[in-house]
Amino acid sequence: MHRNWGQVFVGSLQARRIAALLVAALLAVLAGCSGSSSGSSPDDAAGTPTGTPTPAPAEVTLSLADGAVDVSPITPLEVTVASGELDDVTVADDAGTEVAGSVEPEPGDPSTVVWTPETELGYGTSYTVTATAANASADETTATSTFTTVTPETLSTPGIGPLDGTTVGVGMPIRVFFDEPVADQAEVERHLLVTSSTPTDGVWNWVRDDEVHFRPSTYWPADSEVTLEADLYGVDFGEGVWGEKDRTISFSVGERHVSVADAAAHTLTVHDGDQLVQTFPMSAGDAENPTHNGAHVVLEKFADITMDSSTFGLAVDAPGGYRTDVQYATRISNNGEFVHAAPWSLADQGVRNVSHGCINLATENAKWFYDFSQPGDVVEVVNSIGGTLTAADGDIYDWAIPWKEWTAGSALS
């Protein structure tokens, strides 16, 4: 049989009070039967034992004042009792329908309990909480408070990456995307909880006002499980925006695939865990279109794709413009950088940099890398004459940010 803890808790209080009253009554009967040679005192005639003080009435205090408005639906409903024991707590909506819930003692404060609903209270709704307690004489005291939950101007449910149930590489940060800039970033961040099977020192960073990322100081531990609990229902984002619902996503971090594209040595070295598995000759971006330095993250793959310079502002018919069909293209940034097959630059691979910013490989090498790679794998570009990845290069430039600067980007830092 399963019992509601809150019902057991309140019921046990009632049982102790009733037992105390029965004992008191039995003692009174025994005292009356014993008689007295000195006769009865005025207090005895009145029915109250001589010298017994009248118990103080129970005091019941509710955490929400009567008439409170704009209350978050996840605000704890606390009941504190003095000079008595709690008998019952009920919460009803504005139609008078009782809301199912339970009470638990406040840790460290035995005089206070917290009422918790089985399902969340709603937005824009009036509720009445009623609490009853009794003193040692079983005299009851009742406290009542009616409050109204907030009516949001806008409800927001952010997008989250990686997707639930996916497997990613060790470089994939957790990304949370909001519909609009978040005014109270600290309050939102407090409700984003990340846990992993291998603990990390990960921290959130608001890369934009409407986007926050989470990563450890170094890449994720391989072969680990990660969960994000975004408990945002009832959370005030600020400026009239509130969280619409809670979301939980879990993903796996797969094998450690970290490659190094050395633009000076013209080589792409590929590691699977701690083992070097491939060294490919390559050609990186030329002097006018250098590949960006820094840790790039694999985002997606295309067996066949048409690359068009107009997608980054250079017309196809302009000097240096192009429109080319490419095989085995592995995207490593959102600024147009890929690792892909380039049979037209075979003579340059391993010798000089001639691309428009991509990593050029022989077709068979590009296919091997395409088959090997998964979203979240890392390609570290080094020794390029270009700058380092920044926000201008797209969504994921997280590993190019020094750790001290990264942690400073938390709203809770």
In whole angstroms, give the CA distance from residue 283 to residue 100: 66
AA letter at 74: I
Burial of 335 (0-12, 13-18, 19+ CB in 10 A): middle
Give which of 356, 372, 367, 257 is closest to 304, Cα–Cα.
367
In the numeric block, which tokens belong to residue 385? Answer: 């004459």
DSSP 8-state assignment for residue 309: G
CB atoms near residue 207 (< 10 Å): 19
Q: Is 296 a catalytic residue?
A: no
Give which of 163, 215, 172 is closest to 332, Cα–Cα.
172
- Quickly count helices (H) and strands (E) in the chain: 5, 27
Which helix H or strand E contains 364, and what residues bound it?
helix 363-372
- The region that residue 147 occupies, defined by phi over 0 for left and psi between -120 and 50 for alpha, beta otherwise, is beta
Burial of 44 (0-12, 13-18, 19+ CB in 10 A): middle
In whole angstroms, give the CA distance from residue 373 to residue 296: 13
- The catalytically annotated residue of 213, 266, 296, 358 is 358
In whole angstroms, give the CA distance from residue 96 to residue 84: 28
- The catalytically annotated residue of 213, 266, 292, 340 is 340
Q: Is 191 a catalytic residue?
A: no
Residues marked as catalytic: 340, 358
